[in-house]
Amino acid sequence: MPHQALLAAILDSATDYAIITTDLDGRLTSWNAGAQTLFGWSEAEAVGKTVEFLLNAEDLIGPILHQERQTARAKGHVNSQRWYVRRDGTQFWGSARTVPLMKDDLHLGFLLTLRDRTQSLHTERDRDHLTDTLSRRVTQLKALAEATRAITSAPDMKTTVDAITEQARLIVGAHQSVVSMTQGEDWSQSITSVSLSEKYAKWRHLDALPSGGGIYAMVCETNQPVRMTQAELEAHTRWKNFGTYVNEHPPMRGWLAVPLISHQGTNLGLIQLSDKFTGEFDEADEAIVVQLAQFASVAIEKARAQDRLHQSQARLQLESGLLTSVLEQAPLGISISEAGTGRSLMLNKQIQNQLGITPGGESLHRYKHLGAVHSDGRPYAIEDYPTVRALSSGNPIPPEPMIYRRADGTVRTFEVSSAPVRNSEGEVIASVTVSIDIEDRLQAEATLQDRTNRLSTLINQAAVGICQTDLNGTIVLVNARYCEILGRSEEELIGSNVDALTHPSDRQTSKVLTQQMFKTGESYLVDKRYMRPDGSHVWTSLHVSLAHDAEGMPQYVSAVVVDITQRKQAEASLHLSNQRFRAAVDAVQGVLWTNNAKGRMIGEQPAWSALTGQTYEEYQGTGWTRALHPEDAPRSLKRWRAALRGRKTFHDEQRVRCQNGKWRIFSVRAIPVIEEGVIVEWVGVHTDITEIRQVEQRLRQLNETLEQRVAERTAERDRTWALSDDLLGVFARERWQSLNPAWTRQLGWSQSELLAFEPSRLEYPDDPSPTQHFRQLPIGETINGLRSRYRARSGEWHWIDWKATADKDGQVYVFARDVTAEVEAAVMLKQTEEALRQSQKMEAVGQLTGGIAHDFNNLLTGIIGSLEIMKRRIGSQQLQGLERYMEAASVSAHRAATLTQRLLAFARRQTLDPQPIDLNALVTSLEDLVRRTLGEHIEIITQLHPHLWHALSDTNQLENALLNLVINARDAMPDGGTLVLKTGHFFNEATHPLEDLNPGHYVTLTVRDSGTGMSPEVVAKAFDPFFTTKPIGQGTGLGLSMIYGFVKQSGGHVTLQSEVGQGTTITLYFPRALQAESLDQEEVEAVVAPGNGESILVVGDDSAVRLLVVEVLNELGYAAQDTHHAHEALAILESDAPVDLLITDVGLPGMSGTQLAERARASRPTLKILFMTGYAGEAVQPKGSLTEGTDIIGKPFLIDELANRVRHMLVDEPQS
């Protein structure tokens, strides 16, 4: 066989080895069958590729293969082990040897011999793991033995737990170890000991206690060990995380918790380990910690028992020592005497000091020498002593004072008590007698009483009021002056609250100042008023401070009260005087000025400068005279100097050149201001009398023709009096004195009758009385705007507008006008406007009729068709699929009900009822109706704010306004176009406010069309009532004016922007609703609560509705009966038949549902009433105004809705 063939045969037969050759660059040149078996690529596929395609991604980092080839060339071979990749993507661990291929010292390439060593790798790793496990187990067992010695040697509970914690961490090799003891029934933990490695050094200060609901409690509940990875721990439902430290706490890398269990099987606590040094916690870790926990539980119970024993022994020693120490060191005299023998068992030092002797004797006869005497001087007999009485009677002797004459001659008073001591059989075996030296206390009390009496006398003689209250304002101490100031006795004041005595207007100020004093401790001064019993008030000045107890805590509030009523009255008088002076100055139509004592004008004189135009420099000194007329100045200056010399009032009349250059005549008056006999300044006033002088001149000219003019004026007045249609009269001395003929013409009464009548006889009793106003009218005052009714001779009531004025003689001149026609016209106008508004609504309804009729026909088709199919199928017993037709009929019926409610709400009359409204929901709910109204030739675009505030408005009026705007937009786009409905927010700033809109937050609704638009002239009149651009008969002109009025009444605003050919934009602004903004009705409860046999009476004129309601109620467990007539229902309600709930239609023949309810409540005041209504007009109040125990449900209604409403009413639950 040739050499090459032999070599090929050898290579192909070595199927356990992959034998590969490469060129110098590592490109494959041959590939044996073993290589194809091992890698999965054929030789044709492999040859030509570089050897790198056999390696995984990790071994491709860096020039590893190049370095191996260099080493093989240098040393003759190189061995390597790594992971290789097969064709199918799997990997195997391969051992390779690389040698260079040489021929005649020429390096041709490399030979790689490679073998799969994956199984060997796994075997070696398993052996190493087993060796490590056994080694770790031996190490842990040794550590457990060491831990046992450490725990056993711990002297007390604390060190025992610390040893358990530390040893648990060391045994397993973890960064964290915690031992927590169970406390409470909820398995809450008390972290007793913590052991942390240096990795957690900054966490050693934490002492937060785990709650009872977390994962720690779960281990205690089950008493089973738990081992989790970090991911399992964080995913567990009872893991509470690290709270505020969650972002700072390093990863725990697993958690191991082992319960500590007592010998009785109860949980003592648990050992917790986390963050193992290497890897996760395994079964070996859990097993060794369980063994440690078993030993630790025994050690803990033992430590606890030892602690309890030590505590009991220490407590017994302490109690014994304390008893001895207390008896010896007590400030009381204590003696114990034995029953029967009377022998003294114990006498402390204090009783020996009290008596001045050491009582001797082993019997009760020792009491003969103790020296106790009665208050009358008689010595105590042996049987009188409390000790003897307690031993003989077996009853305790309460404290009683005893006087002792001691051996040194002093006399002391003691308070002595004695009580028998009984054994377990109830026999008296001894007595304990206690004596307290009260001599010093009695003397201190006497001294204190003497001081108190003197202090009370001093306080009551004080010229100021003194009051002391507790911290709640209750009076505990007052003196006589305080009682005098308030006009009340001490008995009335003690125990009353000072706030109730304070004038209501001053209470808040006193409260604020007192609270501030409590905070700062600083006293305060305040002027305030107290109320006296007669209703008057007294002004006082208070100095209020805190009184503290021995520990410095506030105990009382003390107030020193001074009556300042006279001062306040003087201040009020001064204030009134100042006000009068200011009023007088303001009332004087003149220019005020001042001069100094020497008559020179100094300082600022703004009034004089404004009058004359003189500057500050020009009028100083006597410069003011340069503003006088040259003919008047010398005379005025001479008179002024004479007044200065004589210290008399200065009078003059002079012409002054005013700022406008004109001369005017002024009357001048100046008076000196004198203090303590010295003139300090002059105060003067220039009064303009130019017109007066001119009038005087004219009067002089008119005097000659006065009589003629008076006669003419009198004749003119008489003609006016006789011919005037106004009612003129003179009222004085409680009667009409004279009346003009218009009274007879207007009211039909003769003048003699009117003058004879008592004036108020003809007045309408419920109107303001003009007669009463005339009687009370002050001189110089007038009556305007008084309107009342006056009875005519025909019996009709005429509306009269009254005006009157009173002169100094007490006569009232009356000017009245009959405005009956105007009032009736105004009423008629209001009714006409209301009719026009309703007509406008009806016009809008008419415009909507076509679309609504189309919708109703569709809905009725769905209802009737579904019911007809159901009827046929039931008749032929084909019951499958009926639910589909039932659902179709129900959906159509509900849609029809919604359309009905919309139409009724749009058409009805009502006053505004502002409520929070979701404009987005409103626009969405009306969108179908709007599309039907506009038609297919107009595109509707809605732009709704995603987080819209609620608006405050009337829902029905807002719907009406929106539909009116939509109809106007439709009429403006006869050839089609686009309508945009947009909602948004608007803030009206105070600095740049929108006209006629208060600053604040608003919600906007914008309607924009692309129609014909308006000219500026039309825009200016768009909101005017009755203004319309539509042909006659197609519009009332009230649409926009009604919208404008409604929005303004809602506290909002309307803006209109339009240009011819550019469309129109109208924006409505509504105030933002600040209260709760959720108005959506909650869905009817899915589960209907059954009845409990309650009796329900159903009244209605529709038999189908009655049948449905009664059937539903009976099925739910109620006892329901029905009647179609209100009178039949009333007979049942007025009988003794039980009725828990009345369900009635609002509209009934004869007697309405509301009338029936009123009659029923007369005999059954607590009867619950539920009204049913489709549209009740004004028969039932709005739901917000219904009386207690009354509710209303609108038809049509869901059966479940009715059932839940009935249940809520019967059990008195609030309807959500």
Express each pLDDT in 491-544 by its tens digit.
Answer: 999 999 999 999 999 999 999 999 999 999 899 999 999 999 999 999 999 999
The answer to whether 65 touches 77, Cβ cutoff 8 Å, is no
Architecture of domain 470-570: 2-Layer Sandwich (3.30)
**Maximum average pLDDT range among 91-95, 265-269, 359-363:** 91-95
Q: At 300, which helix (H) or strand (E)?
A: helix 283-329
How far is residue 1059 from each of residues 374, 451, 595, 739, measured CA to CA in Å?
118, 97, 69, 62
For the chain, the first-to-last Cα distance in angstroms comes to 104
Say how many residues make up the chain: 1216
Q: Which of 613-627, 701-715, 1173-1187 has the lowest mean pLDDT?
A: 1173-1187
Q: Is 200 helix (H, G, I), strand (E, B) or coil?
A: helix
Q: Using CA atoms, how far apart are residues 855 and 466, in angstroms rounded to an integer?
A: 86
Tokens found for residue 11: 């290579």
pLDDT digits (tens, 9 = 90+) for 936-952: 888 999 999 998 999 99
Q: Using CA atoms, how far apart are residues 1190 and 436, in angstroms rounded to an integer?
A: 74
Residue 1179, pLDDT above cutoff 50:
no
pTM as predicted: 0.29
The domain made up of 910-1080 has a fold known as: Heat Shock Protein 90 (3.30.565)
Q: Which of 817, 851, 650, 840 is nearest to 746 (CA)?
A: 817
Tokens found for residue 887: 């659902």
Q: Using CA atoms, how far apart are residues 699 and 691, in angstroms rounded to an integer?
A: 12
Strands (E), 265-396: 267-276, 333-338, 344-347, 372-373
Q: Is 338 helix (H, G, I), strand (E, B) or coil?
A: strand
Residue 1072, pLDDT above cutoff 60:
yes
Q: What is the CA radius of gyration of the chain?
A: 56
Q: For the chain, which residues make up each domain, given as ranges?
A: 3-116, 134-239+250-310, 330-443, 470-570, 588-688, 689-723, 725-818, 833-908, 910-1080, 1095-1210
**Maximum average pLDDT range among 110-119, 304-313, 588-597, 1061-1070:** 1061-1070
The domain made up of 833-908 has a fold known as: Helix Hairpins (1.10.287)
Tell me yes or no: is domain 134-239+250-310 CATH 3.40.50.1970: no
Tell me yes or no: is domain 725-818 CATH 2.120.10.80: no
pLDDT at 157: 81
Angle at 59 between CA 57 and CA 60, to 5 degrees: 65
**Residue 533 backbone zone (phi > 0: left; psi -120 to 50: alpha; other: beta):** alpha
Q: Using CA atoms, how far apart are residues 83 and 94, in angstroms rounded to an integer?
A: 6
pLDDT digits (tens, 9 = 90+) for 1010-1031: 999 998 888 888 877 656 776 6
The answer to whether 176 touches 275, Cβ cutoff 8 Å, is yes
- State the pLDDT confidence band at 1094, using cuts at 50, 70 and 90: very high
HSE-CB of 291 using CA atoms within 13 angstroms: 17
Residue 822, pLDDT above cutoff 80:
yes
The domain made up of 1095-1210 has a fold known as: Rossmann fold (3.40.50)
- The Cα diameter of the chain in Å comes to 176
The domain made up of 588-688 has a fold known as: Beta-Lactamase (3.30.450)
The answer to whether 840 touches 1036, Cβ cutoff 8 Å, is yes
Decide if 470-570 and 588-688 have a common fold.
yes
The domain made up of 3-116 has a fold known as: Beta-Lactamase (3.30.450)
Cite the DSSP H helix spans in 89-207. 118-152, 157-172
Q: In terms of C-beta distances under 8 Å and separation of at least 24 residues, what long-range contacts does 646-654 make, across chains too?
A: 647/672, 647/674, 647/679, 650/682, 650/684, 653/689, 654/628, 654/629
Q: Using CA atoms, how far apart are residues 405 and 380, in angstroms rounded to an integer?
A: 11
Tell me yes or no: is domain 330-443 CATH 3.30.450.20: yes
- State the pLDDT confidence band at 1079, using cuts at 50, 70 and 90: very low
